[in-house]
Amino acid sequence: MSHDSRDGDEAVPHLSPEEFRKLGHRMVDWIADYWSRLESFPVRSQVSPGDVASKLPAHPPEEGLAGEQGWDAIFRDLEDVVVPGLTHWQSPSFFAYFPANASGPAVLGELLSAGLGVQGMLWSTSPAATEMETRVLDWLAELTALPASFRSTSATGGGVIQGTASEATLVAMVAARERVRRHGAPADAQWVAYSSTQAHSSVLKAAMLCGVARGADDTVHVRQLETDAHFALRPDVLERAIREDLAAGRRPFFVCATVGSTSSGAVDPVRAVAGVLERTGVKAAGCWLHVDAAWAGAALVCDEHRALLDGVELVDSFAFNPHKWLLTNFDCNAFYTRDRSALLDALSVTPEYLRNAASASGAVIDYRDWQVPLGRRFRALKLWFVLRHYGARGLRTHVRGHVKLAGDFETWVREDARFELAAPRSLSLVCFRLKPLPGEASDATDARNRALLERVNSTGRLFLTHTVLPSVDGTPARYVLRMAIGGTYTKARHVRAAWDALSAAAG
């Protein structure tokens, strides 16, 4: 291990380039081996609370590792401490939540980003970090058929990488409030944000962070509106709520439409929602329409799914997560706006120590003004690697394969008299459950479905999660299972094995 010392100061035990090279090769080998043996692990971690912590020392080490042999202990701990405590999100039999794709090109991009150690807050702090991000976001906008007004080449729009869809929602909400203020809203306005009950919890959290919502139970300043039979936002309900708030002297400023909700993959009617903002006059007053397509947005690389975009030319911002279903590891959210000036007005703060000639010229983008934090990693590298490695054709093949597998799973559910679909299939997401038995109370049906889910998950052979879908036309809310297909390595045999396990466990 190399040592850095100055004038007799104690040496710092940095890795030499050669030591780093050896350990780096070893770690990459470990990751490659991990991927090759994913199917040997129980998908959901089998440890109990506190098991991992009990294997870790209570106090930090005083002395560091002694040479390469010292690192043997770290690799042993990876196997003995870390791996048993993992739920294996990259397992081909992981069907829970939504996918969290990792891929070789993305991981290499992440490694390179860490090795370069760039802090890309300003154009001047690394021009390549900024200009590559701008270009790959424009590539992604083209691949997903976003209108030209969302690209950096437009007069008013552009894209940026946020960490998550939750951050994108917060940024959009802050920009929305700033724009409505520019349209004359008073400083003490009673702001109101709108979404469906099926929108992601990040809408409420963003309102809390902005000071719009007084708390998680504030139903005055955050209106979570009832949905239709397919769990999509109802434009008539939105219009009624907006007119009520206007009459009460409140200020509608933000609407979030969801394309691919977390529970069931529901798609809000974006064009109709935009029409409501136009008819009620709140659009003219600056009200912002944001589309959260965190999961489903990846499907837009395929022509046959472009109907999801209907009306997107009328919205102010659009965001989706390549880190969910587009082979780019967490974290990577693609956020686009047609009104970057509102974003900059809301988020720009320029202390003296950040002033520089390039920024002052107005000829460059400083992405620190497009996000909440100041600092930012060189995340564009991993997205660049993914787009170059797979190409548009590879990405389309990835998405289409999973949609087909979900169609197969949907067919098996339909053909089994014990099961029923709980919502229309959305791309690669299938919501289903055991049917109620004759005369069975709804809570008893829910209990049977909870038991089924736990039986299959406890085997370790697969992992699914659940949701509760709201009441429709007077029927009770329902506990349902979610089959979310989208893993990097998921094939037909894994989906078939999951169905066989569910079928056997159903009795």
Chain segment 183-229, per-residue pLDDT in tens: 999 988 999 999 999 999 999 999 999 999 999 999 999 999 999 99
CA–CA separation, 204 vs 232, rounded Å? 18
Residue 448 lies in a domain: no
**Residue 285: which CATH number?**
3.40.640.10
Q: Is beta strand 333-337 parallel, antiparallel or unpaired with respect to 158-162?
A: antiparallel
The answer to whether residue 505 sits within a structural domain is no
- Encode 465-475: b = buried (16+ Cβ within 10 Å), e = exposed: ebbebbebeee
**In total, how many domains does the chain have?**
1
The whole-angstrom separation of Cα 75 and Cα 56 is: 14
pLDDT of 297 above 90: yes
pLDDT higher than 70, residue 149: yes
**Are 414 and 134 spatial neighbours (Cβ–Cβ below 8 Å)?**
no
Note down the domain range covering 219.
Answer: 119-387
CA distances from 425 to 249, 311, 414 (A): 41, 22, 11
Query: Which comes out higher in pLDDT, residue 265 or 358?
Result: 265
Provide, rounded to the nearest whole percent, the portion of the chain with pLDDT above 70.
Answer: 97
Residue 20 maps to a domain: no
Residue 104 lies in a domain: no
Within a domain: residue 342? yes
Cβ proximity of 126 and 307 under 8 Å:
no
Q: What are phi and psi of 480, to 5 degrees?
A: -135, 160
Is residue 226 domain-resident? yes
Q: Which pLDDT belongs to residue 301? A: 97
Would 102 be classed as within a structural domain?
no
The reply to whether 3 falls in a domain is no
231-285: per-residue pLDDT in tens?
999 999 999 999 999 999 999 999 999 999 999 999 999 999 999 999 999 999 9
Q: What is the mean pLDDT of the chain?
A: 93
Residue 187 contacts by C-beta under 8 Å, 6 or more apart in sequence? 181
pLDDT for position 188: 87
